[in-house]
Structures are given as structure tokens and as C-alpha cells.
Structure 1
């Protein structure tokens, strides 16, 4: 709570499915007022309705994080309807087709960069401006970095490059936010069981050229980790967290 009887306000991007949806529900269960953002209004509305049935406070706002005007409109709604922002979870992201580098379409590259990096910057920029001027001042920003912020998969140059860039963005925001009580951390997720990761269970290319079925973990473990990061006081911060299916081929040689 930000004060006696006042709910903390959270914004989750990419809230309509997968990690975003699970994290939004977890925050709602623990008393947050959650703004649900995503490109498609219908799944956001469905999630908001589900939250309301459970007694939660959710607000669904369609937003294209790659568009500066759309992000500005989203934050106008947050100011008007909620008055402040305590937590931003930069979760929206996308990948490109798994092709050789020289075969990746330039428009696909730009779309991944626009979503995974510029979109995070636009939302962070808007949140930073609100958090440093609101009363009480400050807030928390959590970026979805992915295991790909550490190591690439085959044929993933756009996704890997943007996720490595998120690590630099996280560090810069963490540093620049200090004077304003704005903290920033990153969660790097490996093989959460979502629609996006479903192909892992069918077999996916490995660095040695083999196709391997990879283990998955329950997405609720990710939601629990987000809640843990969110619930810390602003005097403490999880700078980087890696949460992954224990037996996925990441540590060591697989």
C-alpha cells in the first residue's frame, strides 16, 4: 500500500496472455490496482472481467508500445483514472522467424527492435516522468529480459540483440532513478509454460545442431517472482533475477 487504505497501482504490458496475464492476476490477488495494457482489447477486457469477478481492481487499456502517441495516451489514462503509478512491468515482447541472419527481413528486425527495446524505453520514459513527480515520489520498474539476455538460441539475432540491450537499459534506469527513488530490476525467464514457449515441448534446435525437447516450468512461478520483486520496499531491489526450468539446456553445456 502507498498509504493507509490506498492500493498500489501497477501497469503490466503484454497483459493479455502468458507471463503478463499470470503476473497481472497475481498482483490483483495481492491487492494491487492493475492497469492491463496490450495490443488487443478483447483479451484485456476478458481478464479485467475475470479480475472484477474475483473482487480485483483492473483497468483494460489497448496500447501499442511501439507507438509514442499510444503510450502517451495510456499514461494519460493512468494519471486520470489512478493518479499515480507504483510498478511498471515491461513485459510486452515478440520474436522473429527463426531464419539465418542473411535471410531475416529488415522489417521483421525493425518490428522486434520497436517492440522489445523501443517499446520498453517509451513505457519506461513515461513511467519515470510520472514516478519522479508523484507524491509519494518513486516507484519500481521491472523489465522482462529473458534467458536470451545472457545466451542466444540458434537463429534468434533480433530477439537476442534486443534482450541484451534490455540489460543495459535496466542498469541505466537503475542508476538514473536513484535521485528520485525509482528502482529498476530485470527478470530473466527460461521456459515458462506459455503459448510462446509451447514449441519447446515439441523439440527446438540446439547449439550443437540437434533438435531437443526442453522441459518447461509452471508460469505461476514467474508470477510469484514478479510479486516478490514488486513487494520489496524501495530501499531494496532485485537488480537481476534468473528463473528457469531447472533442467533446461542453459547452465553448462546442456
Structure 2
């Protein structure tokens, strides 16, 4: 009996938990949502493209899991509040959140960028994540069960290439933000961390020429591009009890790409 209990816990460390994933329709968000479900969690899928969310929800349900798709604009404060409240109404709790939705915006030298370019990226990558974290923490504190939150940062939050002045700033801000929040909510047994992907084969990367992708892979210590699962697995793990003493950290998931610098 003990052996079977241990096996069940090992196979489904998030059984009975509820996880919220934004940007869940494709790429890293989709990979994380599927992994949360495989590890036993009920999953709320959020993002702008309803059809993609429903496809992932169906995939989870066909495998015997529980999922709910809630189309959401993460730059809209009211939409975020509705997302969290609907999660609580439907599943009764919120234990984990992976705030993955983000945009790259316009990549160009600063002289070619506008204030509108700045506001668009910051509105999603920083303000949107801040609003999500605020709403998620309020729900977790109200329920009193503790919880774990993970945000998607980037290796470009601690490095840069030409044209990333806005994007890099938005991700570096997330890395600084979680330091304060970790101190604020630690007494409530709520942890908050970031994953910082390197060069990952996501839809955002599809327009990159193959020669550039090959060059990126060659720069990594592991000599390959990352997959959405490489990042999604780390984000999910950070929400399990195995990561119970980790908070306020931004963890690079880049295959060693930034060891020698990003250029």
C-alpha cells in the first residue's frame, strides 16, 4: 500500500491542484499546460486565440485530464480579474500559475522605435504579468493554501542584442520584480520564480532563417535549439513540492547559450 501511494505521488505530484497557464495555445505555454495535466493538475488555459486554447483543452481531456479554456487579453486588468475569478468558480482553488504570455514587439535600434512600440511590449510583458501576479496572489492568500507562480522571462533580460532595448528591459524588470514579491508573500507559503528561455523553437522563431537557427544552435553548449518542452518542464517542476525551497529566482533554460555571451 505504501509503495502504491508513493508511486501515485511520484507520477502525479500535482494531483488535486489547479494550475493557470497564460499563452497556453502554442509553444512553451502549450507544453507546460500538457505537462501540468500529465502531473495531475486541472489546467485553466488562457490566451487571445480561443481556437488554439480549445485544441489544447481537448488534448488534455482526451488523455483523461481536466481543462478549461478561457480566452483572455492579459493586458486588460478586468479580463485578468475575470480569468482568476472564473478559475475559482469552476475549479474551487488556484495552486499554481505560469504567466507565459508575452510579445516580442518591434525589434529595431532605439532611434527607429516609438513610444507606442515601448508601451505595447511593456503593456503585455511587464504590466500584464504584474497584474496577473497581483490577482493570483490575492486568490492564493484568500484560499490560504499557499501556491507557486512562475513567469516567463528571457536570457535577454540579462543580456541583449541590437534591437532589443524594449524587450530586454521588459524581461529584466520581471527578474527584479519577483525579488520584492518573493519577500512579500513568502510568509504565506507562496513562491514566485521566473524561467528565462534561450533560443527556443517556438512559433515566434518560425520566421528566423534556418541558417540563423543553425548558428544559434552552434552557440549553445548542448549544440541544439531548445524545445518548448525543455522550458515547460522546468516551469511545471517549479510548481511542485520538489522545488519547495526555491523562490525569487530567474532560472536560465538555454542549453548553455549565454555562457560565452549572447552575440
TM norm structure 1: 0.89
Gap runs ≥5 in structure 2: 1-8, 218-224
RMSD: 2.0
| Structure 1 residues 161-176: aligned runs within 5 Å | 161-176=169-184
**Structure 1: gaps of 5 or more residues:** 205-210
**What are the superposed Cα offsets for residues 190-237 of structure 1, whole Å, 9 maximum, x if unpaired?**
012111123455355xxxxxx973111222221221222111267411
Q: In the alignment, is residue 111 of structure 1 matched against residue 98 of structure 2?
A: no
Q: d(CA) in 2 for partners of 1:79 and 1:124?
A: 15
Listed as ranges, the matches of 1:1-254 within 5 Å are 7-135=16-144, 137-200=145-208, 202-204=210-212, 213-215=215-217, 216-232=225-241, 235-237=244-246, 239-246=249-256, 248=257, 250-253=258-261
- Contact preservation (8 Å) 1:201, 1:213: no
Change (3 A) 1:235 1:17: closer
Separation in structure 1 between the aligned mates of residue 181 and residue 45 of structure 2, nearest angstrom: 23
- SS of match in other structure, 2:194: strand
Aligned pair count reads: 242
Structure 1: distance between partners of 2:63 and 2:214: 40
Most deviating of 223-232 and 143-152: 223-232
In proportion to residue count, which structure has more helix? 2
SS at match of 2:143: coil
Comparing 106-115 with 191-200, greater Cα deviation is found at 191-200
Contact 1:140 1:234 in 2 (8 A): no
Distance 2:232 2:184 in 1: 27
Q: What's the CA shift string for 1:149-187, capped at 9, x where partnerless? A: 110121011110100000111111111111211111111
The separation in 2 between residues aligned to 1:23 and 1:231, in whole angstroms, is 13
The two structures have a TM-score, normalised by structure 2, of: 0.86
